[in-house]
Homo-oligomer: A and B are copies of this chain.
C-alpha cells in the first residue's frame, strides 16, 4: 500500500473542510489502543504485537511504537525490553493505589473548583446531573459510567490546573480498565445521580473541609465497592505479565 498525497489516516481522505487537526496518526493509534484495552478487547496481560496492530490499521510500526510508549507512560501498557508491550495486569494493590491517588487529587481539585465556580460552570454541572438522571433509565452501563466520569472531570477542569487534569485523566483510563474487568455497574444508576447532586450542593456551599470530606467519602465508597467486586473475580488479581 503506497502513500499518495496525504499522510495515511485511519479515517477517509479529506472531505469538505474537515482537515483541522487530523494529522496526528500517533494520537489516533493511541486512542484505538486505549479503547481496545478499556473494552477488554485486549485482555490484561495480552501481548501487543506491533506488527499486528500496524497491519490491522494499515500503517507501519513506527507510529504504533510511539503510541505504545505513550500508553506505557499512562500506565495502560508495560514494556518488557526485547519482549514487547503487554496490557497491564492490575492487582488488588494497583486498584488501591489508583483510588487512593484519586481521592488525594480529586478532593483537592474539588476545593479549587469551588473557588472558581461561576454561574456558567454551575449550570454546566447541573446539566450534567440531568444527563445522569436521564441515562439512569437507559440501562446502558457503559454510557452511565462515561457520564459519571464526565461529571467528575468537569470539576477537575474547573479547578483549572492542567497538571491536575492530566493526573486525573491518566487515572481515568486505569479506572475504566478496572470497571471493564468488573463488567458491571456497582451501584444503582438513580442513586448515582442523586449522590452527585449532593456533591454539587457541597461544592456550591464552598466549605473546604466539608468538600474534602464529602469527595473523600464518595470516592472511598466506590473504592470499597470496586474492591468487593474485584475480589469476586480472582482472574483479575494475577501477577504481572508472563
| Residues of chain A at the chain B interface (Cβ within 8 Å) | 21, 23-24, 26, 62, 65-66, 69-70, 73-75, 81-82, 97-98, 100-101, 104-105, 108, 112, 161-164, 166-167, 171
Contact = CB atoms under 8 A, between A and B. Distances in A.
Q: How many copies does the complex hold?
A: 2
A73 B67 CA distance: 11
B23 A82 contact: yes
Given A21-B81, A104-B104, A108-B104, A69 B26 contact: yes
Contacts of A66: 65-66, 69
Given A104-B104, A167-B167, A81 B23 contact: yes
B97 A161 contact: yes
Contacts of A171: 163
Contacts of A163: 75, 97-98, 101, 171
B101 A164 contact: yes
Contact of A73 (B62, B73, B97): B73
B69 A101 contact: no
Given A69-B69, A73-B73, A98-B163, A24 B81 contact: yes
